Amino acid sequence: MLDGDSPVVAGRVVTVGEGGRVRVDGARPAAGDGVGRALARLVVPEIEADAPERAIEVDQTNTSVIVGDRVIVKIVGEWAASDRSAVLLERLADAGTDGVDRLRGRVQWRHPQLGTSTLAIVTDFHVGATDGWTWAVADVQARMDGGAEPDWPAVLGVHAARLHDVLGSDARSAAPDAPVARRVRAEAALDRALATTTGDAGARLANRSEALAGGIRSLGATEPGWEFPIHGDLHVGQVLASAGDDGARRYTIIDFDGDPALPADERGRPDAAARDVAHLLVSLDLVAAVAQKYARRVDDAAWAWADRARNALLSAYRETLGRAELFDEALLPGFEAEQLAAELHYADRFLPAWRYAPDAAITHRYPSSHELPEVPWTPPPFDPTSS
């Protein structure tokens, strides 16, 4: 526990600035400033005083620092940004849940004006780990070229079910108006995507908007069901692959901060288990799209793999889930349509180069009305030497 409005860590002053942003000597925390190492040693004292720090080179709200190739210290970018993650990781650790990030501990900050919140989370570092947009895409590319059928979709289904069994232990009945609220939220996501997606992708989306809207409307006819604190942003990219003690590949689900598309104060709201499952299923289609980009060709073998992978993941999830009442499969069509629309809107706002992936999945999964002229989807150019 740190105390005060400006505690000193590793000789540097930590403060909360404008907009709740956490700052170290007035700047964003960074690997090499010694703060990550000092915070890690508060949780894991055996870490060496001179242990090296290095950054995880991804664009993210928080700052993650690898310390001594032993732990990862995630320093929040905004006040209270990781309170949810810390609580969920503690619950999973107490339950001994396999396949999720191993929490070593957290550092809290007691601020005289803002109260108490999590400043940093310390988890195990997995040597040689890669995220799903790397290892999963490589596996699918190999399968497209005649390689072995990947077995990890079923493994992900098992991990998701075990995760939900623990986090759903205190699930509560959703509000009676939950079906309508879910439909309204999904309709808004589709409206945003339609308003911002232009060009060939926009035409393909417009021609499939009614098919997407049909899936979304089905949300209003479902039961309220059960809600609890789900992962909230569960997709293949949130799964690390590393070598286990036996040399076999090990899969670890990370990042429990919730849906980044939601305002920070809404990410902790309970939700339906089906949303996590839908996001996983959508991400399998996105992997198939990325694999075709990397292969520089449209290839039906990628979509055939996605069909098999979706079935394997769903089957394993159903078979493993002990609390079967948590999962309402009728929510999947609406949640999948919403997530695909959200991916398009995310691309428009933050990463235009990503638009091709949800565009591919929508074009493949939903029938076209052919009201607007459209050209077939093709993957954008890919240069393996580019960043």
Residue 101, SS3 per DSSP: coil
Residue 235, SS3 per DSSP: coil
Question: Is 293 annotated among the ligand-binding residues?
Answer: no
Hunting for tokens 């089906």 — which residue is that?
A: 274
- Say how far apart CA 348 and CA 187 lie, in whole Å: 18
- Say how far apart CA 96 and CA 26 lie, in whole Å: 39
Check: CB of residue 263 under 8 Å from CB of residue 95. Answer: no
Question: Could you tell me the CA-to-CA distances from 152 to 248, 307, 310, 314 in Å, in that order?
Answer: 12, 14, 11, 12
Question: Is 200 annotated among the ligand-binding residues?
Answer: no
Give which of 287, 282, 257 is closest to 341, Cα–Cα. Answer: 282
Check: CB of residue 47 under 8 Å from CB of residue 105. Answer: no
- R_g (Cα) of the chain, nearest Å: 22
Question: Is 25 annotated among the ligand-binding residues?
Answer: no
Binding site as annotated, residues for D-glucosamine:
233, 343
Binding site as annotated, residues for Mg(2+):
238, 255, 257
Binding site as annotated, residues:
74, 131, 233, 238, 255, 257, 343
Binding site as annotated, residues for ATP:
74, 131
